Amino acid sequence: MFTGLVETTGVVREVRPGSRAVTLCIAPQRGDYEVAVGDSVAVNGVCLTVESCGSGAIRLTAVSETLAHTTLGRLRVGETVNLERALRLSDRLGGHIVLGHVDGVGRLVGDQRVGESIVRTVWVPSELRVFMALKGSVAIDGVSLTISATSEETIAVSLIPHTMECTTLMHARPGQSVNLECDVLARYIFHQLRRTRGATPAAGGASDADLLRKMETLGF
């Protein structure tokens, strides 16, 4: 489990394709970033396991399922990624509950400067839009953010200077693909409502739109 508060960024030193997998060698940019073999680390919001570490770098492998649903298969040597170690029970939950299980890939649409912050618009795949609620939480490339506006196909999030300076979102540009993880609480509430009220209108149950309206009445 993670919080979506990026601890440091890292530079991709090596990308080694394997049999239906890719092994990444990443050098954290914070010199005192301590990890051990077996630790869970979120790389651009994707939970991976540290397989080896040393010489200022960590090595992790993304398997085919991960590559199919995230942007990790598109990483190249020299690119920068967001890094966050798994949450300890003694840590503050400063962001929101993030599992590191990416739900899908979105696309950056554009930016608008508002004072010192940047309002960034992100296109969201159709199957994830039901979970995107105004003032709700979303993780974009592993960064915990609050949804400030929604439309039929997009959401908007506000990026403060600290977020821009400490994550890869500073260098993101329109057209770029990003990992999206929905609010896990909204996902499970929606799933439970579907199970208890029927999966489809044809079966006498509620439609997704009906379930969304029900979630809104619950405050999601």
* Domain end point (choices 34, 68, 85): 85
Cα(132)–Cα(117) distance, integer angstroms: 21
Residue 29 located in a structural domain: yes
Residue 114 located in a structural domain: no
Residue 146 located in a structural domain: no
Residue 109 located in a structural domain: no
* Domain end point (choices 85, 117, 147): 85
Where does the pLDDT of residue 48 fall: very low under 50, low under 70, confident under 90, or very high at 90 and above? very high
Where does the pLDDT of residue 105 fall: very low under 50, low under 70, confident under 90, or very high at 90 and above? very high
* Domain end point (choices 40, 62, 85): 85
Residue 49 located in a structural domain: yes
Strand spans (E) along the chain = 8-18, 21-28, 40-43, 46-54, 57-63, 80-85, 104-114, 117-123, 137-140, 143-150, 154-159, 177-182
Residue located via tokens 């029900």: 214
Per-residue pLDDT at 200: 47
Q: Is this model's pTM higher than 0.85 or not? A: yes
Residue 108 located in a structural domain: no
Cα(23)–Cα(72) distance, integer angstroms: 10
What is the three-class DSSP state of 62? strand
CATH classification of the domain holding 73: 2.40.30.20
- Average predicted confidence (pLDDT) for the chain: 90
Residue 106: CB atoms within 10 A of its CB come to: 23
Residue 1 located in a structural domain: no
What average pLDDT score do residues 55-72 get?
Answer: 95
Q: Which domain holds residue 53?
A: 8-85
Per-residue pLDDT at 93: 85
Number of domains in the chain: 2
Q: For the chain, give the percent of residues with pLDDT over 90.
A: 74
C-alpha distance from residue 203 to each of 108, 187, 200 (Å): 37, 22, 5
Q: Is the pLDDT of residue 186 over 90?
A: no
Residue 144 located in a structural domain: no
Per-residue pLDDT at 216: 58
